[in-house]
Amino acid sequence: MTEENIASLFAKSFSNCTRRDLYRSEGAQIYRNLVHNDNAEISEVKQAGASLDSDAVVGELAAGEGRLLLSLSPNLVKTYVAVDSSPVLLSALVERASRMGLESGRVLSLQKDILTWEPTPEYFDLLIFGAGTARLFNESQRQAIFSSVRRALKKEGLFYISTSESLAGVDRLITLGQATLMGRESVVFSMISQLWMIPLGKLASLLRRSESLIRLPVSTAQPS
């Protein structure tokens, strides 16, 4: 059977199905069930937050129900900020935080499009953009997102970003981030189950020497 025949069979099978938005209404419940026991990137996010002070403000872009954001210990985070366009998933996030025993005043849910979100300047100690979400946006959209990140982070703030793209694609992604973040912040970059916290000023040369980047020990890749 050819690929065309397989594609045709799938098309016919699903032609009468009703489309559902995965992040709204019934679709959101399906999404919640899918990620309920997903531990991907949890350890990396916790490592990124290990150096936070107890009064830290941490946010997550495209937060969903807060799987990554709420994995950080309340002992390290004063305020959790979730930014997402789905009211259903944000409601689930608030419920999740309540079950964890977090006071409502410590969890802020913002129903915003991350492409047009206007953050409070220099507000966040750590911003999370995980689960490979960056790959869903083109370069101009990434530029808009990273520009907002630059404004939102404190001077010593960290930006956690993960991607499933090839190293070549990552090079372009981070270079764009470097241009818009202007080298002030550090990027916390997760790939191939490793965590790198690298000052932006060093990223370009490291990415050009991909062998060095891949072999870079986690213990020596600390933000300056």
Is the pLDDT reported for residue 112 higher than 90? yes
Mean pLDDT value of segment 12-36: 54
| Cβ burial, residue 55 (10 Å; 0-12/13-18/19+) | exposed
Listed by start position, the domains of the chain span: 39-220
- Per CATH, the number for 39-220 is 3.40.50.150
Alpha carbons within 13 A on the beta-carbon side of 97? 28
Mean pLDDT value of segment 143-147: 82
Which segments of 117-183 does DSSP mark as H helices, in order?
Answer: 139-152, 167-181
- Looking at residue 7, what is its pLDDT? 56
CA–CA separation, 102 vs 120, rounded Å? 23
For residue 84, name the pLDDT band (cuts at 50, 70, 90): very high
Residue that is written with structure tokens 């799938």 in the block = 10
Sign of CA dihedral 134, 135, 136, 139: positive
